[in-house]
Amino acid sequence: MSHVSHHAGRARVATLLVCLLFTVPGIVKADQEPPAPLATPCQESIPELYNRVSLSVVSVEAASINLRDVGDRVSRVAGSGVIVDRSGLIVTNSHVVFGRRAVSVTLDDGTMLPASLVGADPVFDVALIRIPPPATGTLPVARLGDSDHVVVGEEVLTIGNPFALEQTLTRGIVSAINRILPNTPLSLMEPLIQTDASINPGSSGGPLINRCGEVIGITTAILPEAQNIGFAVPINLVKEVMPLLIASGRVVRPWLGVQGQLVVPVLKELLRIPLEDGFLVEVVEPGSPAEQQGIAGGKLDLTVGGHSVLLGGDIITVMNGVAVDTPEKLEQVLRSLKVGATVRMTVFRDEKLRQLEVVVTERPFLPGDILARQSVAPLAGSGLSVTAEPSGRFRFAF
């Protein structure tokens, strides 16, 4: 498929120099013109900022194979990305390229290049792909900012390729920071930047930039039934993930293979049955270390007062000598887990306490990691949508 860049033949606008006339008593004479300070990128107009930053924004396309669809086994998805290194390294979303085939990148000038997957993390929805560097000249590179300094109300812009419309600029503000998507287990929470700048399918993987032209996030998700509620992965989180993806192609996470929630006092009060304090196992992943050691999940699904719980599973009361009866204690234990280590735990089952030892393995890519981010429409798809549904508090997956 051919592409036509909207920037072909476009005149490049030089950086605007702003001259501030001022007089400093005792330093500047009346007949002497004060020096004109150089403009910073933060003083650029939005058109100038777009002309500069959009050079590093690319269109990403890939083929997806669906063997179960006899009529149309090959579909195409489109997304965006941003060049972060002159060697050809590009940041995009995992759901745009992970598990895809024939990934290609179209540069701002219309050049189409094949891309290879460097690494992907479906959990945080971050991926790195690489294109060959040009034989002559250098690739334009975006400047990465500091998302820890982002504040609510700050003006931001996005550049992407929504619905295959190349190099589209949208404008808005930071609506919230440290936003957690609904139904995300506490142990896998990702604090996102919320913005009202329009994000549409095909914009996924493009940069969220501040008024200095620095990338402060990578756009990743929208609430489909809302009015301009979109989310971006903070760039500082991307910076942490990038070395791991380059080194091993993935983010290594310790894994036992259980999901559930803490037995909190409100749960006891709602159910009015005796429950041991600890972590109530609701789901055990097939083939996981927990399943191999016979840890049991829940069997009876109940909803009481809007609080859902799957009863009948084991209750883990102690892990490595720590009573896991509060979110803080459970998080403390989870942070200490290492792949290959043995976890000693006390499990409450059938009104008896049992001692188990479980060897921690690396968390694999789970079906939910990929299915949740599959394209909802060919070619123009790749936009991840999430549903704002209430979920039980203190749910964990590890």
Q: List, in order, residues 6 or more apart from 314 with CB less than 8 Å away.
A: 281, 295, 296, 297, 347, 348, 349
Half-sphere exposure of residue 292, counting CA atoms within 13 Å on the CB side?
11
Q: List, in order, residues 6 or more apart from 362 with CB less than 8 Å away.
A: 252, 253, 254, 255, 339
- 95 labelled catalytic: yes
Active-site hit among 59, 80, 95, 196: 95
Instruction: Provide the 3-class DSSP secondary structure of residue 164.
Output: helix
- 45 labelled catalytic: no
Q: List, in order, residues 6 or more apart from 368 with CB less than 8 Å away.
A: none
Active-site hit among 125, 196, 314, 369: 125
Q: How far apart are CA 310 and CA 282, in angstroms?
A: 5
| Domains contained in the chain, CATH given | 1-12+44-252 (2.40.10.120), 254-362 (2.30.42.10)
In tens, the pLDDT along 114-140 reads: 999 999 998 889 999 999 998 888 999
Whole-model pTM above 0.95?
no
In tens, the pLDDT along 36-51 reads: 444 445 888 999 999 9
Tell how strand 214-222 and strand 143-144 pair up: parallel
Active-site hit among 94, 104, 175, 204: 204
pLDDT at residue 163, as a whole number = 75
Instruction: Provide the 3-class DSSP secondary structure of residue 126.
Output: strand
In tens, the pLDDT along 179-225 reads: 876 556 555 667 899 999 988 888 889 999 999 999 999 998 887 77
How is the chain split among helix, strand and coil, in percent rounded to 5? 15, 35, 50
Pick out the chain residues at pLDDT < 50: 1-40, 371-392
pLDDT at residue 375, as a whole number = 31
Nearest-CA neighbor of 119 among 96, 137, 98?
A: 98
Q: How far is CA 86 from CA 109, 116, 130, 137, 319, in A?
A: 16, 15, 10, 10, 46
Q: How far apart are CA 81 and CA 71, in angstroms?
A: 31
- 80 labelled catalytic: no
